[in-house]
Amino acid sequence: MTPTTDVYGPEKRSAVMRRVKGRDTGPEMSVRRALTRLGARYRLHRGDLPGKPDVVMAGRRLAIFVHGCFWHGHDCARGARVPKQNRDYWLGKVGRNRTRDAASREALVALGWRVETIWECELKDAAALEARLTLLLTAG
């Protein structure tokens, strides 16, 4: 048996991974709260749009994706980190996510939508996030 670098056993790791959500995540909720403070009205996870954007403002033709840095391979410190355990799996997984994200973005742009991606690491600066969202809302 090869030694494992995981701090959890297989059962605990499985339970932790099951709790990872795909929608209504902490970063997504932060963006939604900021948009609400700015008076924006939006819809969530529209299934009729490519990639099911996290936040959609149809009147502004604006689709916003809120991405976790690790899961979507951002170039920040958290996103560039690759787990030592099961490295090939994670490289493939993040690579597929990035490919899917790019395809969704291209499809939305082809349909005439403005597409923005907000990264988890960008949420640390609330003032900068609010300024960016204000700019997005006034540009449309």
pLDDT in tens, 67-99: 999 989 999 988 888 888 889 998 999 999 999
92 assigned to some structural domain: yes
Does pLDDT of 3 surpass 80?
no
| pLDDT average, residue stretch 32-60 | 96
Return mean pLDDT, the chain. Answer: 91
* pLDDT value of position 11: 86
4 assigned to some structural domain: no
**Higher pLDDT residue, 119 or 9?**
119
The CATH number linked to 99 is: 3.40.960.10
125 assigned to some structural domain: yes
40 assigned to some structural domain: yes
Q: Are 66 and 55 in contact (CB under 8 A)?
A: yes
> Structural domain of residue 107, as residue ranges?
21-139
104 assigned to some structural domain: yes
As for how many domains the chain has, the answer is 1
69 assigned to some structural domain: yes
13 assigned to some structural domain: no
* Tokens encoding 66: 């809120």
Report d(CA 109, CA 17) in Å as an integer: 33
